[in-house]
């Protein structure tokens, strides 16, 4: 996407994606180590491209001057959003399950999803090593467009890579997605991970959360 061709602008957008709350110009400048005018320039370009939007002002304005302008990711992101929606990955699942059996009750479909997840998990484990496994897992989930956020007890997946499909056929798509993530965390070679249904997912987020269990 042309709007993200500039490395600094892309870094600012990635910073905004990583935050649950809106960001200010000074925060963006500090995150990418740039001057404030440059950060403002790129923030406004991202707004013009439809990737960010201006957030409501803070309830308590500053003592002097107007409240600082705040920016947040515009949701839902369009189909050309960053990162790109990974429909090809789930196409592999459907091909492996043998066409002609679209029901998610077919054990072959869910088995195919888990096996595909295991393949991805093994790749993550080899790339990350045990000491860097958590960061490698979060990075890989980000590349798969899940927008992960690591907290003390879980990895929250703030975006559904298959939102366009699950919005139309949630009961068919979500079990396949859950099986894929279950296979992934089972084979990532890390103890204490469990992919479970998120009891209260936010609008637009994934239906699964990865719990970090005591080992």
Measured in whole angstroms, the distance separating CA 25 from the mean position of its chain's CA atoms is 23
Query: pLDDT tens digit string along 37-50?
Result: 899 999 998 898 88
In three-state secondary structure terms, 104 is coil
Backbone torsions φ then ψ of 70, nearest 5 degrees: -120, 145
CATH number listed for the domain at residues 87-212? 3.30.1380
Domain boundaries, the chain: 2-73, 87-212
Give Dmax (Cα) for the chain. 66
pTM (global) more than 0.95:
no
- Cβ pair 194, 210 in contact under 8 A: yes
pLDDT in tens, 190-211: 667 889 988 887 877 888 999 8
Q: What is the pLDDT of residues 80-131, one digit of tens each?
A: 555 555 666 666 665 565 554 555 556 788 888 899 999 888 888 776 555 5
Cα–Cα distances in angstroms (integers) from residue 149 to residues 39, 90, 93, 124, 166, in the given order: 23, 22, 26, 17, 21
Contact (CB, 8 A) for 155 and 148: yes
Enter the CATH code of domain 2-73. 1.10.10.10
């Amino acid at each position: 996407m042309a709007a993200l061709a500039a490395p600094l602008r892309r870094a600012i957008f990635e910073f905004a994606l990583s935050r649950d709350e809106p960001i200010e110009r000074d925060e963006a400048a500090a995150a990418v180590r740039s001057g404030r005018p440059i950060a403002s320039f790129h923030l406004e370009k991202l707004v013009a491209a439809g990737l960010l939007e201006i957030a409501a002002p803070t309830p308590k304005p500053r003592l002097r001057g107007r409240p600082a302008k705040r920016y947040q990711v515009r949701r839902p992101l369009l189909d050309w959003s960053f990162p790109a929606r990974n429909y090809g990955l789930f196409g592999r699942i459907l091909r492996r399950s043998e066409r002609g059996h679209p029901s998610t009750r077919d054990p072959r479909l869910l088995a195919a999803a888990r096996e595909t997840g295991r393949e991805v998990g093994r790749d993550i484990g080899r790339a990350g090593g045990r000491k860097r496994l958590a960061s490698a897992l979060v990075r890989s989930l980000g590349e798969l467009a899940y927008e992960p956020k690591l907290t003390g007890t879980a990895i929250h997946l703030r975006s559904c890579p298959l939102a366009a499909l699950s919005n139309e056929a949630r009961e068919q798509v979500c079990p396949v997605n859950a099986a894929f993530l279950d296979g992934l965390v089972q084979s990532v070679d890390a103890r204490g991970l469990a992919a479970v249904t998120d009891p209260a997912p936010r609008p637009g987020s994934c239906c699964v959360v990865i719990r970090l269990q005591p080992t």
